[in-house]
């Protein structure tokens, strides 16, 4: 594939979507077109329908295994319909969450084990990994406080989990970053948003220089 695949990761409340928007706004005239921004779970019609099921706070009976399988199913559909065709066409694909979210949330957070969740997703993705992953690092208690402040009535099923769950997710991300430091670049998301944005831009320039115009 001729394109580049970049994912943005982080615990709930880390500001992924906000940082991604700001980065793209600043780089709109500097990166080589075209690019595609997408998200997980979701990104395609079927995957978005699965997203609604996964995140619906009414589905309290959903088991950890069901949750992991639904994420993998949404990811498989998303890759087939959206990501792989875009990469084949030479586009830069930026995804708000990807495989590492499943490893952190279901593998570590739900206690299913990173290896088990990785095996499910190996089948779902046929081994496709991002060229670069930006991990916004923020302690869970800080991120959850942000969510409560900004949208207290709109928490999804994952955000409503207890602090202990989010702490396991956080530790899962830390372990993934240590395991794959070549791909996963950690950014301190407790800094002012302007600093976080510029740090991410510097990482993109340093690691994927051919994305940028001369």
pLDDT in tens, 70-90: 999 999 999 999 999 999 999
The whole model's pTM is what?
0.93
Domain regions of the chain by residue span: 4-211
Tell me if 4 sits within 8 A of 94, measured CB to CB.
Answer: no
Q: How confident is the model at residue 2 (pLDDT cuts 50, 70, 90)?
A: confident
Does residue 179 surpass a pLDDT of 80? yes
Token look-up 């329908």 returns: 49
For 128-154, the DSSP string reads ---SEEEEEE--HHHHHHHHHHH-TT-
Determine the distance from the C-alpha atom of residue 121 to the mean position of all C-alpha atoms in its chain, rounded to a whole number: 14
Q: What is the pLDDT of residue 152?
A: 63
Mean pLDDT of 190-209: 96
HSE-up of 36 (CA within 13 Å, CB side)? Answer: 21
Tell me if 40 sits within 8 A of 97, measured CB to CB.
Answer: yes
Mean pLDDT of 163-172: 95
Q: How confident is the model at residue 155 (pLDDT cuts 50, 70, 90)?
A: low
Pairs from 209-213 (Cβ < 8 Å, separation ≥ 24)? 210/32, 211/4, 211/31, 211/32, 211/92, 212/30, 212/31, 212/32, 213/30, 213/31, 213/32
| CATH superfamily, with its number, for domain 4-211 | P-loop containing nucleotide triphosphate hydrolases (3.40.50.300)
Q: What is the pLDDT of residue 177?
A: 98
| Non-local CB neighbours of 135 within 8 Å, separated by 6+ positions | 9, 10, 100, 173, 176, 177, 184, 185, 186, 187
Q: Which two tokens stand for residue 134?
A: 């930006």
Mean pLDDT of 96-119: 98
Burial (CB < 10 A; 0-12, 13-18, 19+), residue 210, is exposed
């Amino acid at each position: 594939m001729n394109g580049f695949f970049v994912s943005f990761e982080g615990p709930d409340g880390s500001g992924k979507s906000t940082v991604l928007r700001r980065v793209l706004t600043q780089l709109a005239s500097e990166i080589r077109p075209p690019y595609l921004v997408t998200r997980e779970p979701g990104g395609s019609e079927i995957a978005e329908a699965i997203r609604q099921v996964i995140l619906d706070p009414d589905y309290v009976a959903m088991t950890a295994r069901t949750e992991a399988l639904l994420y993998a199913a949404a990811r498989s559909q998303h890759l087939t319909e959206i990501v792989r065709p875009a990469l084949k066409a030479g586009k830069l694909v930026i995804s708000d969450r990807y495989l590492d979210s499943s490893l952190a949330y279901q593998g570590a957070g739900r206690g299913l084990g990173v290896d088990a969740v990785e095996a499910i997703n190996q089948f779902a993705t046929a081994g496709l990994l991002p060229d670069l992953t930006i991990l916004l690092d923020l302690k869970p208690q800080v991120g959850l406080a942000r969510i409560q402040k900004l949208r207290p009535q709109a928490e999804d099923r994952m955000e409503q989990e207890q602090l202990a769950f989010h702490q396991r997710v956080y530790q899962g991300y830390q372990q993934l970053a240590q395991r794959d430091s070549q791909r996963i670049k950690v950014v301190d998301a407790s800094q002012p948003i302007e600093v976080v944005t510029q740090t991410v831009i510097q990482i993109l320039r340093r690691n994927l220089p051919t994305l940028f115009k001369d």
